[in-house]
Structure 1
Amino acid sequence: MIKFAQAVRIASGSIGSAKLRSALTTLGIVIGVAAVVVNASLGASFNQFFTDEISSVGSNFIIAASKQPNLFFDNEYNLIKNTPGITGVSPRKTMSGDLTYLSETKSVNIAGINEDFQEIQGLQMEKGTFLSDKDSFAAVLGYNIANEEFSKKISHRSNVKISFRQEDGTLVTKSFKVKGVLKDSEPTVVSQDSDYDLTVFIPISTMNEMIGEKDYGVFLAMADSPEKVRSISDEVDRRLARNFGVPEREIDDEDSKPYYVFNQEEVLEQTGKIGDALNSFLLALALISLLVGSIGIMNIMLVTVTERTREIGIMKSVGYSNSNILSLFLLESVMVSLFGGIVGTLIGGLGAYALESALDLPPVFPLKLIEIGIAISILVGITAGLYPARKAARMNPVDALRYE
């Protein structure tokens, strides 16, 4: 029985006798494993990116949006607010208006909300305080509105004018006190409306008074825990359905309802599916290159078996068994592949970090990818080397010795 240490020395000697060929063979595995590691890491980074982006929109959020105007009013607001598990709810109505500061006027995005909006959306203040339900003609400005859009920066406690044009063409202008300025934020993949840097916030009651309306376009609510957000969202859906006369059997049919309800968990599930599909696509591309590398190993091992036919005959004549020969050639294939797998894993880890930094993705490198990279390389070595090794083991020693 050949000892493992002796087998390693023989396999190493064979690999070292053809350094260039071994290096080129290993290169295919290096590229394949590196591609697998990079793409798996990128897939994990994209999933984390989506999760972070959705979480930045708000905590445990539930959104109810009307499909038609004049649907949501105070009754629907109170219905959602009194749902067990709801810790806050805010209407949100967004429209374009004019903001005047000193003698300069800009067209801006204006959102009518209430005081719960800050906690639901996780908004941070740079200066001043957020709106309260006791405010009337008060405003909170997005970071860019206050600091970049006008010739002079708008500080909190400044006075501004906001103008809306009603449906009949009447222009309504009111003076507002700037109560606070939000911290700088960024748009998210969920909605560009979440880029609140270019938004002016005012009480929704004041907005409706100015534009001559009473309805609310959207309700943003917050559940008391992430574990219950789906069940609480379903309860909100059921209450709204009963309120609008939707039969219970049709609650799950979105076309039968004049509104729709979705929550943070559902959004995470959808983006998770997108991330998984992207990850699968990237891994499929990587596995193609790994397949090419494994074919390269098989091809080289077949050449090696042919070149070492007489050596195989000599080994058999001095007592090496078929299993010894099989083990030697299989070990050689695994060693080449394993070395390529280790190098490929290291290169893949560095490449993943570089790409994630360049794409501004959160750096995610699951440690299990190291195990996966090495395991794949061993599997490739065994798979690609098995046929050539069996061919070598089955050689007739007399024919092998006569081989020229």
Structure 2
Amino acid sequence: MIKFAQATRIASGSIGSAKLRSALTTLGIVIGIAAVVINASLGASFNQFFTDEISSVGSNFIIAYSKQPNLFFDNEYNLMKNTPGITGVSPRKSMSGELTYLSDTKSVNIAGVNKDFKEIQGLQMEKGGFLTDKDSSAAVLGYDLANDKFGKNISSRSTVEIAFRQENGTVVKRTFKVKGILQNSKPTVVGEDSDYDLTVFIPISSMNEMTGEKDYGTFLAMANSPEKVREIAKELDNRLARNFGVPTRKIGDEDTKPYSIINQAEVLEQTGKVGNALNSFLLVLALISLFVGSIGIMNIMLVTVTERTREIGIMKSVGYSSSNVLSLFLLESIMVSFFGGVVGTAIGGMGAYILESTLKLPPVFPFKLIEIGILVSVLVGIIAGLYPARKAARMNPVDALRYE
């Protein structure tokens, strides 16, 4: 029985005798394993990115959208606020309007909200404070709007003028005092009007007075626990359904309700499915590269067996058994794949880091990928080298010695 150390020396010598061919064979595995590691890491980064984006929209949020105008009023607001498990509720109505500061006028997005909006959305203040229930002529500005859009920066306690155009064409103007400036944020992939850097926030009551409206548009609510978001959202759905006369048996049918409710847990679940689908797609592409690399190993090993036919005959004539020959050629295939797996995993890790930095994704590298990359490379070596090794092991020593 041939010893492992001896087999390793023989396989290493064979690999070293054809350095260029061995390098090119290894390159296929390097590319395949690197692609697997990069794509798996990118998939994990995209999942983390989606999770971070959803979390940035708010904490344990529940959003109720009206499907028709003039649906949500004080009655619905009080109903939501009194739902067990709800710790805060804010209306949100967004409209285009004009903001004037020092004779400079800009078209901006204006959102009518209340004091709970800040906590629900997880907003942070750069200067000043947020709106309270006692405010009627106070405004809070997004960071970019206060610092980049006008000839002179708008500071807290500055005076601005806000104008809306009513449906009959009448322009209504009111003077507001800037109460606070939000910290610099970024747009998110979920939630409408989530680019708060360019938004003006005013009390919803003041907005309705200026526009001549009474409804509240959309409601944002916050649950008291992330584990109970679904349960609380369901209770809220039941209460709103009864409020609007939706039959109990049809509460689950979205088409029968004049509103729609989403919550953080559902959004995370949906984006998780998208992330997993993207991850699977990327892995399939990577596995195709790995398959091509394994075919390369098999082809090279078949060529090697053919070129070393006389050597195989000599080995068998001096006492090497068929299992010894099989082990030698299989070990050679595994060594090539193993080396390619180590190099490919290292290159894949560096490539993933560079891509994640370039795409501004959170740097997520599952360290299990190192083990997986190497184990997969060894498995590829076994599968790709098994047929050529068996072919070598089955050779008749007399025929092999006669081979030219």
Q: Which runs of 5+ in 2 are unaligned?
A: none
Which amino acid in 1 is paired with 2:196? Y
Instruction: Give yes or no for the alignment of 1:77 onto 2:69.
Output: no
Q: Judge which range, 291-300 or 243-252, deviates more.
A: 243-252
User: How far 1:191 moved relative to its partner?
Assistant: 3.5
What is the TM-score when the length of structure 1 is the normalising length?
0.98
1:28 aligned to 2:28?
yes
Give the partner amino acid of 2:263.
N
Partner of 1:121: 121
Task: State how far apart, in whole Å, the 1-side matches of 2:98 and 2:24 are.
Answer: 67
CA distance in 1, matches of 2:20, 2:104: 72
Stretches of structure 1 that go unaligned for 5 or more consecutive residues are: none
2: distance between equivalents of 1:19 and 1:199? 64
- For the residues of structure 1 that align with 2:308 and 2:102, how far apart are their CA atoms? 90
Matched residue, 2:335: 335
Q: How does 1:12-91 map to 2 (within 5 A)?
A: 12-91=12-91
Structure 2 distance, partners of 1:388, 1:103, is 83
Cα distance in structure 2, aligned partners of 1:273 and 1:200: 35
Farther-moved stretch of structure 1 (251-260 vs 165-174): 165-174
State the Cα distance separating 1:102 from its structure 2 match.
2.0
Deviation at 1:227, TM superposition (A): 0.9
The reply to whether residue 182 of structure 1 matches residue 172 of structure 2 is: no
Q: How far did residue 159 of structure 1 move?
A: 1.2
Alignment RMSD, CA only?
1.0
The equivalent residue for 2:287 is 287
Alignment of 1:139-288 (within 5 A): 139-191=139-191, 193-288=193-288
d(CA) in 2 for partners of 1:115, 1:147: 23
1:301-337 Cα distance to aligned partner (Å, 9 max, x none): 0111111111111211222221111111111000000
TM (norm. structure 2) is 0.98
Quote the residue 2:351 is aligned against: 351
Q: Offset at 1:155?
A: 0.8
Per the TM alignment, residue 70 of structure 1 is displaced from its structure 2 partner at its CA by: 0.6
What is the deviation of 1:192? Answer: 5.3
1:188-228 Cα shifts (integer Å, max 9, x gaps)? 11145111011100110111111111111100011111111
- What do residues 227-261 of structure 1 show as CA deviations (whole Å, max 9, x unaligned)? 11111111111111111111122112111110000
Q: In 2, distance between residues paired with 1:82 and 1:4? A: 74
User: How high is the sequence identity, in percent, across the aligned residues?
Assistant: 82
Runs of 4+ in 1 over 2 A off after TM superposition: none
Name whichever of 343-352 and 273-282 sits farther off: 273-282
- Work out whether 1:361 is the aligned partner of 2:361: yes
SS at match of 1:11: helix
CA distance in 2, matches of 1:254, 1:305: 66
**Deviation readout 1:93-137 (Å, 9 max, x if unpaired):** 000111111212111111000000000001110000000111111
1:102 matched to which residue of 2?
Answer: 102
Distance 1:310 1:107 in 2: 85
Which whole-Å CA distance do the structure 1 matches of 2:207 and 2:155 have between them? 22
- Work out whether 1:316 is the aligned partner of 2:316: yes
Letter in 2 for 1:178: V
Partner of 1:135 in structure 2?
A: 135
The alpha carbon displacement at 1:390 in A equals 0.7
1:194 partner SS = coil
Aligned-pair CA distance for 1:15 = 0.5
